[in-house]
Amino acid sequence: MAYEDEGIKQIQPTYRIDPTPDQHFRKSVGDAICKQIVDETLTDKEWNNEDETRWTVEITERIKQACKDLGLKRYKYVVQVTLGEVKKQGVRIASRCLWDTNNDNHSSYSFKNESLWCSAMLFACYTE
């Protein structure tokens, strides 16, 4: 009673280990983030050995920051961006993870133009 008299609200711990329904990472949102950032960065670019490292780091950091800006509590983000020159080759990129299928999620986007290709993968892992 003393707390209520002083205008202090007492909140009991919830011991919640799962995200609330409005705090789940949505694959469609992640896909849109990856597509927007990769397209903005690479649409008019041509392959250049000098710039590919800068583009890769820029895309990675922008995707991570956009995910953090979503404000989803207790999610950690891992972003993997691979960039290469188009030379009539085949490329297959795969990734494996062990995670909680109820709370963790992933997104990806592939981009290709006349001179370069890019694969962006985003993993959202919920920490309990």
23-58 pLDDT, tens digit each: 999 999 999 999 999 999 999 999 988 899 999 999
* Residues 59-75, mean pLDDT to the nearest whole number: 95
CATH number assigned to the domain comprising residue 107: 3.30.1140.40
**How many independent structural domains does the chain possess?**
1
- Its domain, for residue 69, covers 26-88+99-126
90: its two tokens: 């085949």
Domain assignment present for residue 20? The answer is: no
Whether residue 13 is contained in a domain is answered as: no
Residue 4 lies inside a defined structural domain of this protein: no
How many C-beta neighbours within 10 Å does residue 116 have?
Answer: 19
CB 86 within 8 A of CB 114: yes
The better pLDDT of the pair 33, 88 is held by 33
**The pLDDT value given to residue 58:** 96
Residue 8 lies in a domain: no
**Torsion-angle region of residue 10: left (phi > 0), alpha (psi -120 to 50) or beta?**
beta
Which phi and psi (to 5°) does residue 51 adopt? -100, -15
Q: Is residue 75 part of a domain?
A: yes
For the entire predicted model, the pTM comes to 0.84
The pLDDT tens digits for 96-121 are 888 888 999 999 999 999 999 999 99
119 within some domain:
yes
pLDDT: which is higher, 86 or 96? 86
6 is a domain residue = no
Q: Which pLDDT value is given to residue 2? A: 54
Domain membership flag for residue 5: no
E strands, the chain, are: 75-85, 105-112, 116-126
